[in-house]
A and B are shown apart, each in its own frame.
Chain A
C-alpha cells in the first residue's frame, strides 16, 4: 500500500446527498463527563505536538536535546506554579492526580511521624485519599473520617474539632466534591489547621481551572485531564516548610518527590492548558453555571421521583448529580449512551462494585439510579437541552419496563 492511499481515502467518501437522513444514533455523541476527563484543550493539543518534537529527551541528561527538554519542563513548572500561587520548587509533576494524592497524604504523614499518627479527612474525599488512609491504618496509624451533611458538606466546627485532637499529623480536605459538586469549607479548615499546627492537604482536582482555590493549604494536588490537559499528568505542591518524607523509594527527579522520568510533552501541554483555562475560567463558570441550574431545575420538574443532590448554590459551576428512584443506574447509563450521551454515575448498581458510592452513602441520599452530568468548554446550551429532552422519556421507559410505574 502506498503512503498516499492513507490520505486519499477521506476524499473518496461520497457526500451523503441522497438516501435516508442520518439516524440520531449516528450523530456525534454528546460528551457530558468532564469531571472524569475534560476533552483536550486546543491549546494543549498544539503544545503537546510541539513538545513531542522538542521535549522527548530525558531532561536529566547533559546534551542539547536533554537541555531543551529541561527548559520546557522548567517553563511548565514555572507556569503551573504561577497558576496555583506556588513557587516553582514547590511544584512536582506526577503520573496522575491519584498518585499525587497518595504522595501528599502518605508523605505528609511520614514527615510528621514525630508529631503523631492521626490522619483527619472528610467522609466524601476521592477514593485516592481513602485508599491512602487505608494504607496508613493498615500500618498502625489512626484515621478519623469527619461526616458530612445531606448536601455533602463537612461541618467546619466538626472538622476543626477533629484536627484539634491530640496526635493529628495531617488533615486532608477536598476543595469540592467530584460526585455531587458541593464546595467544601477549605478556608475555615485551613484556619483551624493553622491554629492547631497541622498541615492541610487540599485535593483540588475538581476545582483547578474551574473556580479559585482558597489559600492556606500546605499541600495541594490536582489532575491535568480535569482541566483540559492530557491524561497522565498530576500535580503535587508541597509548600516550603511543610514536613514531607517520600513514602516511596526516591530519586533525584521532581525535587525528590516523584521518582522516574517525567513525561515532558504531556506536562508542557498540561501547563499550557492550565494557563488557557485560567484566562477563560470566570467566563466559562459564568456560562456553565446557568446550564447546571437549568439541569437541576428541569430534571426535578420533568422526572418524577428524582433526588437532585448536592448544594444548590455553593457548588462547582460545571457538575450536577441526581438519582432516579427505582431505576438501575447502570441500565440508565447504557440507555443514555445508546442515545448518544456520555454521562457518569456514582451508583452502586454496577457489576464491578457491590458497595454504594461512599459519597452518596455519607450524604444519606438515594444511591441507585444515579447520574452525574459534567460540562466543559465545548458543551453547548443545545447539548444540555437535547439531554433534558430525552431524559424524562428514558427514565419513564425504564420504569415501565421494570413494572414500577405508579409505585
Chain B
C-alpha cells in the first residue's frame, strides 16, 4: 500500500542536483517522479524509483545521504475541487499532511495520482479507508506512472 521514497540531502550550489541523477542514470534506474524542496542554503530531493534498494546502494556509494521514507499514493479526481475532496477526508481522519507532490496526471482519463507524506502511514491507510479514500497499491501506483 505504500511507496518507498528516497530522500537526498543536497547543498544549494551548482552541480549538486546533477550528481544523483547521473548516478541513477549510470545504474540504469529510471526516475518515475521527483520533488525538490529548497532553502537558500540546502535542499531535499525526493525520488520515486522502481528499484529502491539498488538505487539507494548506488547513491550511497556515490557519497549521498539517503533516507527511505514511506509515502502514500492516492488517486484524485482530475477536476476542479478534486484535491479538496481528498483533503476533506484527511481532515475527518484527523491526519495532517507533511507534503504532497504529483506522481502522474491524466491517468485513466480523469484522475491524477499524488504522493502524500503523513506522520504514520499505516494508521493513515486505515483511517482513510474508513473515510472512503483508497490508497493505491505499489503496483497500481507504478502502473499509473507508466512503469
Chains A and B form a bound pair = no
B interface residues, Cβ below 8 angstroms from A = none
A interface residues, Cβ below 8 angstroms from B = none
